[in-house]
Amino acid sequence: MTLPPTTLPPTILPQTILTDATDQLAALRAGTITPRQLMADTLDRIAATNPAVNAIVALRDRETLLAEAERAPAGPLQGLPMAVKDLADTAGIVTTYGSPAFRDHLPAADSPMVARLRRAGAVIIGKTNTPEFGLGSHSFNPVYGVTRNPYDPTRSAGGSSGGAGAALACRMVALADGSDMMGSLRNPAGWNNVFGFRPSYGLVAGGGPGDLFVPQLSTEGPMARSIRDLELLLAVQSEHDPRHPHSSGPYRPKAPGGPLRIGWLGDWGGAYAMEPGVLDLYEAALGTFTALGHSVTAIAPPFSAAALWEAWTTLRSWTIAGNLGPLLRQSPDMVKPDLRWEIERGLATTASDLRRASAIRSDWFRCTAGMAVDVLALPSAQLFAFDADWHWPHQIAGTAMDSYHRWMEVVVPASLTGLPALSVPAGFGVSGTPMGLQLIGHRGQDATVLNLGRDYEAATDWIAQTPAL
Position 315: which residue type?
L
Query: CA distances (Å), 272 to each of 180, 278, 381, 423, in order?
Result: 20, 12, 10, 18
pLDDT at residue 265 in the model: 98
Burial (Cβ within 10 Å: 0-12, 13-18, ≥19) of residue 298? exposed
Cα–Cα dist 201/213, whole Å: 11
Beta bridge partners of residue 177, listed in sequence order: 222
Which pLDDT score, from 0 to 100, does residue 350 have? 98
Contact predicate 139/94, CB 8 Å:
no
Q: In the prediction, which pLDDT does 12 show?
A: 57
pTM listed for this prediction: 0.96
CA distance 268 to 304: 9
How far apart, in Å, are the Cα atoms of 144 and each of 139, 167, 341, 390? 10, 15, 23, 16
Pairing of strands 148-149, 375-379: unpaired
Spatial strand order in the sheet of 295-298: 175-180, 219-224, 195-198, 421-428, 434-440, 375-379, 261-264, 295-298
| pLDDT at res. 243 | 87
Rounded to whole angstroms, the Cα distance separating 43 from 396 reads 39
Catalytic sites, residue numbers: 85, 160, 184
What is the structure's pLDDT at 17? 79
* Angle of CA points 431, 432, 435, to nearest 5°: 100
Alpha carbon separation from 302 to 189, 260, 371, 375, 411 (Å, rounded): 26, 19, 9, 13, 15
Whether the CA torsion 182, 186, 190, 194 is positive or negative: it is: positive
CB-based contacts of 101, cutoff 8 Å, min separation 6: 327, 331, 334
What pLDDT, on a 0 to 100 scale, did the predictor assign at position 10? Answer: 43
Q: Is it true that the peptide bond before 160 is cis, omega within 30 degrees of 0?
A: yes
* Cis peptide preceding 250, ω within 30 of 0: yes
The structural domains of the chain, ordered by start, are 15-302+371-464 (3.90.1300.10)
Is 56:126 a contact under the CB 8 Å cutoff?
yes
Tell me the C-alpha distance between 201 and 443, whole Å: 8
**For the chain, what is the largest distance between any 2 Cα atoms, rounded to a whole number of angstroms?**
63
What are the two backbone dihedrals, phi and then psi, of residue 321, each rounded to the nearest 5 degrees?
Answer: -60, -40
From first to last of its 469 residues, the chain has per-residue pLDDT tens of: 444 544 444 445 677 778 999 999 999 999 999 999 999 999 999 999 999 999 999 999 999 999 999 999 999 999 999 999 999 999 999 999 999 999 999 999 999 999 999 999 999 999 999 999 999 999 999 999 999 999 999 999 999 999 999 999 999 999 999 999 999 999 999 999 999 999 999 999 987 667 888 789 999 999 999 999 999 999 999 999 998 899 999 999 999 999 999 999 999 999 999 999 999 999 999 999 999 999 999 999 999 999 999 999 999 999 999 999 999 999 999 899 999 999 999 999 999 999 999 999 999 999 999 999 999 999 999 999 999 999 999 999 999 999 999 999 999 999 999 999 999 999 999 999 999 999 999 999 999 999 999 999 999 999 999 998 7
* C-alpha torsion 89→93→99→101, nearest 10: 100
pLDDT of residue 2: 43
DSSP state letters, 445-457? -HHHHHHHHHHHH
> Residues 27-49, buried b or exposed e (16+ Cβ, 10 A)?
bbeeeebebebbbbbbbebbeeb
